[in-house]
Amino acid sequence: MSTVYNLKQEVEKPERLTGGHRLCAGCGAGIVVSGVLRALDKEDRAVVVNATSCLEVSTFMYPYTAYMDSYIHSAFENSAATCSGVEAAYNALKRRGKVEGTVKFITFAGDGGTYDIGLQSLSGAMERGHDMVYVCYDNEAYMNTGIQRSSATPPFARTTTTPVGSVGQGKKQNKKDLTEILVAHHIPYVAQTAPIGNFKDLHTRAYNAIYTEGPCFLNVLSPCPRGWDYPAARLAEIIKLAVDTCVWPLFEVEEGVWRLSYTPKKKLPVVDFLRPQGRFRHMFQKGNEWMIEEAQASVDQKWERLLERTGA
């Protein structure tokens, strides 16, 4: 599936995530949600399910909500199950002629509620084949509860539960490859994208996911200025560096066919992405050169594997 992207038409659509929410300046989550919801056709309605997260506590302060569409706050562990249940209820009502028009079902959750706590619920919903889109905004830690490590946290990153000191030098384990795990569910559409620097890519991947019948998954990079320790004004730069260093490559898998969405004109070294972030500052201390070398080798290996899969 593909759509013709017209920037003027897209920005003229009314916002489905209103201003006045309480997300931090320089947070990627609001841009992710706005971009995904903007991919909806004007005449279509949506039910948004949101797992407990930074996004939830910042956009839904009972009795107020920042969403123009129907909204459900779900627990950390069951947002996918909630969305799949609502989708099943909608289909039952539609068969009885009790609802009209098109309604789309979209779940938003952070990496803590996706990679970790909500993985079982997500896997079940995808396996059952519900017509829904699950969007993970990946900020690589449990930011809402104090910046604790998650299985999405990259190696060597400093968090409050993987501190830097005489005993440890950040997280020891590798980052879980959640996108590949979802591909292994053999669902119709999976994509990995980013919200800034390539609005067309986010829009296209979101549109494809929303208007592909069946369960679909989007993994979207969503930097956190507090957890990643960068100035708020550098959000766009951080995302672009993640993409151009191939730390966060952009690709889609449609009906099992892998396609690369973006190839950097010049693949930048991983240090360009690491250096602006305080969570990686210790990697540049004398004696820790091996950390940077290991990080670069890991990125290169994964990038080459992706090139092979996509035939690029």
- Using 70 as the pLDDT threshold, list the residues of the chain that sit under it: 1-3, 197-198
Cα–Cα distance between 16 and 36 in angstroms, integer?
A: 10
Q: HSE on the CB side for 241, CA within 13 Å? A: 15
- Does this model's pTM top 0.75? My answer is yes
Torsion of CA 223, 229, 230, 233, to 10 degrees: 70
Q: What is the DSSP letter of 217?
A: E
pLDDT at 2: 58
**β-strand partners of 251:** 192, 260
pLDDT at 7: 84
pLDDT digits (tens, 9 = 90+) for 83-107: 999 999 999 999 999 998 899 999 9
CATH number for region 7-310: 3.40.50.970
Q: How far is CA 56 from CA 2, 78, 140, 164, 209, in A?
A: 31, 14, 17, 30, 22
Q: 109 phi and psi, to 5 degrees?
A: -155, 150
Cα–Cα distance between 125 and 154 in angstroms, integer?
A: 27
Query: Could you tell me the residue ranges of all domains in the chain?
Result: 7-310
pLDDT at 4: 77
pLDDT at 8: 86
Q: Is the dihedral of CA 73, 228, 271, 195 positive or negative?
A: positive
pLDDT digits (tens, 9 = 90+) for 132-156: 999 999 999 999 999 999 999 999 9
pLDDT at 219: 98
Q: Is the dihedral of CA 119, 87, 191, 141 positive or negative?
A: negative
Helix (H, G, I), strand (E, B) or coil at 174: coil
CA-based Rg of the chain, rounded to a whole angstrom? 19
pLDDT at 115: 98
**Residue among 161, 167, 48 nearest 104 (CA):** 48
CB 118 within 8 A of CB 82: no
Q: What is the DSSP letter of 247?
A: S
pLDDT > 90 in the chain, percent? 91
Structure tokens at 79: 């947002």
Helix (H, G, I), strand (E, B) or coil at 164: strand
